[in-house]
A and B are shown apart, each in its own frame.
Chain A
Amino acid sequence: MESSEYNSDASWDIFRIFRNFNKNNTSSENLSFGTVDTGIRDIPEKEASTIRPVTLKTVKFPIEKNVLDSPHLDTIPLKLNLKFSIEVENLIMRDLTFRKFISEIERSLNEFIKLENVGLENRIFFEEDWEIPNYKKLVLSLNFKGIPFKLEMSLWKMINSITYKRIKSMIPYSSEEQIRRIKDLKKKFFIKLEM
């Protein structure tokens, strides 16, 4: 349809409606409410009296978005950022029991965070003991930020209890060789508070 044609049609419609509202019905055409002519519904008197004044609201049309079926992965932050020393990383690669041991420690920390919802920085590394040569401790170092010492101590105790409980739970499902290794690792394992 040409635009000028469309405009003249529209203006004629408006003229007809305006004439009807003014009861200036000199035309031979009978316009009534609720017809295709006007598109306005005829409201019975009773119903009309109950109608509340209409407040105009800004209508926002929904913006079309490309919605993925699953939330974008990058938007879900990790709660725990556990860092490992190179030596620990190398052992994770090589040693299955050690890998399981470290995974249990990580699970414990996540369990703790779920319970307490506290922010903490962690590192796991081997530390040489200056008193005993060739003896290396496996250290989980915790750093609670901006928490009073007393509370830090109670949180440390809680992590200790969760972690050792998890380590113990590995034993019934491990082979004899693995149990020896787990016990050995447990002896070397310490949870330290960064001061």
Chain B
Amino acid sequence: MIDMNNSFDIEILAQDLEYCIKAFENDKFDLMNIAANRLMENSIFLERKEVFLTATILKDIANDYIGIFQNKRDIFNSAKVIGKKTINSIRTNFNKGINIETIWQDFQEYTENINEFHKDELESEVYMKNTKFTSIIFKKILKFLEENKESFKKINNTLINGVLGVMVRIMKNHSCTLKETMVYLYFKLLAILHPYIIEKSYPEKEINVDDYKEYLEGHVDFIVTFYLNDSLDFKKYNSELWEIGKQFRELYFLFNPPRIVAKTRFLEQVPALVRVPAVSRKIVEKDDKEEIEK
């Protein structure tokens, strides 16, 4: 439980949370994503790690519903029930002082249920729950990641999105346990940070060793050890997640929008459920023009 006695902090964060919930209720999922970003940023400024976790989860929920609203409109009302129940529970938890275990329980239930709605009609007829298989694949893919982590130094590597793409597919079709959900959320955030690390290195083709160690290697090592050693240390995990969030927000101030995002069309930026912020065509064209002029 965290101390929610500092009413100044809590009032600000509660307003962000309320805005996020209202955006959800009104089917404004783009706004919900923005509201979650605000909650994320303010929780960093106010050093509230538990609130940061809440914000990351809300951002993920917003991203899910952006996809469902676009692609699964024929079952949208049924799917929205899952988010509604989870968000209500998050609100209650927030008002009571945030119990981390409860947040994770809620998010795990949410993930299992919402994945059913991400399946297409045929997938939901065919695929059954098999968390043992999910666990095997997660182990393999994390080992692969560990063996290939040096490739993160090359700016054109797609390792994070590749890993995340597999995780999303496996979790959707075969379901998952809390451990996989935690790894998934961690990679979601790491995938958001990654383009900013690349931008920081521009125009170099490689990320320098210091940046690699500071922004990537440590995070990868942590999550691999966390999963393979079977250790569900919520507190330590939360600190690491918060650290990624902090780095993301710092680099966001300095390098937004990263060239790699600006040059990609919105739809190309959505492999499976992995989303990055939408960028206006104006920025893309401006950037292209600049390059031609050079």
Interface size on A, residues (CB 8 A): 32
Contact: A99 with B78, CB < 8 Å?
Answer: yes
A93-B81 contact in complex given A69-B278, A73-B69, C-beta closer than 8 Å? yes
Contact: B81 with A84, CB < 8 Å?
Answer: yes
Contact: A69 with B265, CB < 8 Å?
Answer: yes
Q: Which residues of chain B from 74 to 91 have a CB within 8 Å of any chain A CB?
A: 74-79, 81-82, 84-85
B116 proximal to A (CB < 8 A): yes
Contact: A73 with B66, CB < 8 Å?
Answer: yes
**Complex interface: chain A residues within 8 A of B74 (CB):** 106-107, 110-111
A92 proximal to B (CB < 8 A): yes
B124 proximal to A (CB < 8 A): yes
Partner of A89, one of B70, B84, B126: B84
Interface size on B, residues (CB 8 A): 34
**Complex interface: chain B residues within 8 A of A110 (CB):** 73-74
A45, B290: Cα distance in complex, Å: 46
Q: State which of A74-82, A135-143, A153-161 sits at the interface with chain B.
A: A74-82
A160 CB to closest chain B CB, in angstroms?
18
Contact: B125 with A173, CB < 8 Å?
Answer: yes
Given contacts A73-B69, A89-B85, A110-B74, 10 further A-B contacts (CB under 8 A): A67-B282, A69-B267, A70-B278, A73-B30, A74-B27, A79-B73, A80-B77, A82-B77, A93-B81, A175-B128
Interface pairs (30), CB distance under 8 Å: A64-B282, A67-B281, A69-B265, A69-B266, A69-B267, A69-B278, A70-B70, A70-B266, A72-B30, A73-B66, A74-B27, A79-B73, A80-B76, A80-B77, A82-B77, A82-B78, A83-B77, A89-B84, A93-B85, A93-B113, A99-B113, A100-B124, A103-B117, A106-B75, A106-B77, A107-B74, A107-B75, A110-B73, A173-B126, A175-B128
Chain A to chain B: the 5 pairs with minimum beta-carbon distance, closest first: A69-B266, A173-B125, A82-B77, A66-B280, A110-B74
